[in-house]
């Protein structure tokens, strides 16, 4: 059974992109949790095959303050996109994704707020801690951060 990765402090290896997961059902649970906790929802779309996805995971795994900022303001959900399961039906409700990983922010009711190509968050051969922090702060629920 796939469990929604709501717990703070879990590492990326414990929050895999799961080709067998049902993102529509996972999102229903995320909306319920977000409503209770007054958080937005952060979808991280990618796959185990994606090197930049693993780099993004590593940024969160090695920067506790960044993970705390994310987990304080968002219900975090990974959505698999891979040859095994592209989750086309689920992802078709959002703007077309051109590259991976891709971040989608929803409000607590599941309404789409923004869709972000993570290329703008990159710096050199990795990610900019400052750019990711600014993105999370910009899309955190107002008055929560």
Confidence of residue 115 (pLDDT cuts 50, 70, 90): very high
Q: Which two tokens stand for residue 32?
A: 């319920």
Measured distance CA(10)–CA(99) in Å, rounded = 25
pLDDT of res. 16 = 84
For 7-58, what is each residue's pLDDT tens digit?
A: 333 434 456 899 999 999 999 999 999 999 999 999 999 999 999 999 999 9
110 — alpha (psi -120 to 50), left (phi > 0) or beta? left
Q: How many CA atoms lie within 13 A of 45 on its CB side?
A: 25
Q: Which two tokens stand for residue 80?
A: 């698999």
pLDDT of res. 50 = 95
For 91-103, what is each residue's pLDDT tens digit?
A: 999 999 999 999 9
Element (H, E) at 75: strand 74-80
Instruction: Spell out the domains of the chain, with CATH numbers in brackets.
Output: 19-139 (3.40.30.10)
State yes or no: pLDDT of 3 exceeds 90.
Answer: no
Closest CA to 81 of 93, 92, 91: 91
DSSP 133: H
């Amino acid at each position: 059974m796939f469990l929604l990765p709501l717990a703070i402090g879990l590492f990326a290896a414990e929050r895999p992109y799961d080709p067998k997961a049902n993102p529509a059902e996972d999102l229903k649970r995320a909306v319920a949790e977000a409503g209770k906790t007054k958080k937005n929802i952060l979808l991280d779309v990618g796959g185990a095959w994606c090197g930049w996805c693993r780099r993004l995971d590593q940024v969160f795994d090695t920067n506790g303050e960044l993970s705390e900022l994310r987990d304080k303001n968002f219900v975090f959900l990974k959505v698999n996109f891979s040859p095994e399961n592209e989750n086309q039906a689920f992802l078709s409700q959002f703007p077309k994704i051109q590259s991976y990983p891709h971040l989608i922010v929803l409000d607590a009711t599941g309404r789409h707020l923004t869709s972000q190509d993570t290329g703008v968050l990159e710096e050199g051969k990795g990610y900019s801690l400052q750019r990711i922090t600014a993105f999370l702060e910009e899309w955190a629920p107002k008055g929560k951060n």
